[in-house]
Each structure stands twice: as C-alpha cells, then as structure tokens.
Amino acid sequence: MVIETKAVTFRCQGAVLHGILDEPALSGQRAVLIVVGGPQFRVGSHRQFTLLSRYLAASGIPTMRFDHRGIGDSDGETSFEQLGPDIAAAVDKLCEDVPEIREIVLWGLCDAASAAMIYASSDPRIKGLILLNPWVRDDQSLAKTYMKHYYVAQILGRDFWHRILTGKVKIIHSLKSLIRNTLTAAKPVRKSTPADTGNHDQMTFIDRMEHGLDNFKGRVLFIMSGEDLTAAEFRQLVDGSRSWKKILRRDLVDWQEFPDADHTFSRRLWREQVEQISRDWISSW
C-alpha cells in the first residue's frame, strides 16, 4: 500500500514538539501512536520505531512517532513519569491530521510503556495499549532481579569459574556487590498506596502505572523479552502482587513472550515478529 510520510509539528505547554506521521492512502478508523522512552528519539534503537511505523502504515494503520519534550528535536524538559501532556498533545495532532480516526493504540517500550499505562485511562480516545518490557525499576527490584537471574547464571556458568581461576574476576569487588544486593533485596517490601485512592501525590510511578492500567477499559498486549532484566523485574513485580495478577488475568489482556530476545528486540527476526504481532493484534478487534 502507498503511504505518505510527513513531518508534523505541534505544541505542548509552550514547547515545540516534532514528529513523523506515516499515513496510508486508505486509512481505517484506528491508528497507532508510538510513545518514545529512555534516551531514544523518534527513530528508535536500530531504527525500530521508523520501521515499525512504516510497516503498520503499509498495512493500512496510520502511525505517528514523536519526540516528547527534551528528546530529539523537541524543546523543553520532562520525564517519563510526566509524559501525559506530551502524549495528549500528540494524540490531538494525530486526530487533527487524520480526521477519520476514532480509536488510538499507544505503543511503548520500556519507560514509554510505563508512561502509556499511566496516561491511557485519562483519554477516551485510547482503546488499546501495546506494552513492551515495562519499566518498574527501584533499588530493591533491581537487587532481587540480580540475585535471581544474574548471580545464579554466573555461578552455574563455566565461564565464570574459568575467569576466577585465571584471575580475571575481582573477588573482593564481586563479593561486595553480592553483599550489597543481598541486603537491599532483603529489605521489607514497600507498601504501595492502594490503587483505588486516586491520590497521585502519594503514589510512586509504579503505583500510578497500576492505577492507570486498573482503570483502563481497553485492550492490552504485553510483549516481553526473555533475555532482559527490565522484563524480569516486571515479571517479578507481577508474581509478587495479587492486584497486578488480577489486572493481567482480564479477558482483554494478552501476553506474548520472546524467550531469546533482548530489551529492544535488536535482531531483524525479533523486530519483524514484533511488527507482525502488533499489526495482527490491532486488526483482530
């Protein structure tokens, strides 16, 4: 399908934001907004967002990607915890440029997935979320993840013992790191603010994610990497929380695993599979 690619410019709280819209010749009523997180900008790691946007547009799904405040070509400053105004401004622009749109799916990786969870329930135009390896990091979760995934893998690996025997591992430094992570992981679990209070001032960003997803009535697709500490931390959060488990057991929530994939699905095979899964899921409802 023929697509038109054009630069878009819009404002968010006085800052000028820049993005790219890929629009098919024949657009449906459902579109995708790619939310950018971390240090990335609208192109994405290994051109991930550019290629995804063009792929979806070629499948008949208008897709826009943009630089939020402080990233890429856009003015201002913000953090992923405060991306709501940026996402709202981008949704407004997408609906303005493609007026036939009636429903929008937010697509986000890492802390962009976290930001999408926080935002989605506040905007009735958002009907779906595609969330890849959501970011839920704090000191304790990272320590527990290292204890469970990193250290065990190291101890069981032949290469680790070879490096010890050849003097390539600094024993004292490694022991200090192990003790520090053990003590951090053993701290009492923080008590979350109940998600139904709605008091964002008292919530951590993880609480706000839970509150947002709990109140979101649309469809959700999680795409998770098997070889990624960020994904492991999210699984660990879910495994230890009845409220998160309850949310993820909903009929409108789907879960897709990539056992061998890294954080950004950097291999061509993984990237193309993510593109196809995203397209098929968006077209399935």
Q: What is the pLDDT of residues 210-265, one digit of tens each?
A: 999 999 999 999 999 999 999 999 999 999 999 999 999 999 999 999 999 999 99
Do 147 and 124 touch, CB atoms closer than 8 A? no
Architecture of domain 3-138+198-283 in CATH? 3-Layer(aba) Sandwich (3.40)
CA distances from 158 to 161, 165, 214, 227 (A): 5, 11, 44, 19
Q: What does the pLDDT read at residue 139?
A: 56
Q: Residue type at 3?
A: I
In the chain, at which residue ranges do the beta strands (DSSP E only) sit? 3-12, 15-24, 30-35, 63-67, 103-109, 126-132, 219-225, 253-258
Whether the Cβ atoms of residue 71 and residue 169 lie closer than 8 Å to each other = no
CA–CA separation, 14 and 182 (whole Å): 46
Q: Say what the pLDDT of residue 121 is.
A: 98
What local confidence, expressed as pLDDT, does residue 120 receive? Answer: 98
Kindly tell me if the per-residue pLDDT of 155 is higher than 50: yes
Domain spans in the chain, listed from the N-terminal domain onward: 3-138+198-283, 140-185
- Pairing verdict, β 30-35 and 15-24: unpaired
CB neighbours of residue 92 within 10 Å: 15
**Mean pLDDT to the nearest integer, 119-132:** 98
pTM recorded for the entire structure? 0.82
Distance of CA 163 to the CA centre of its chain: 35
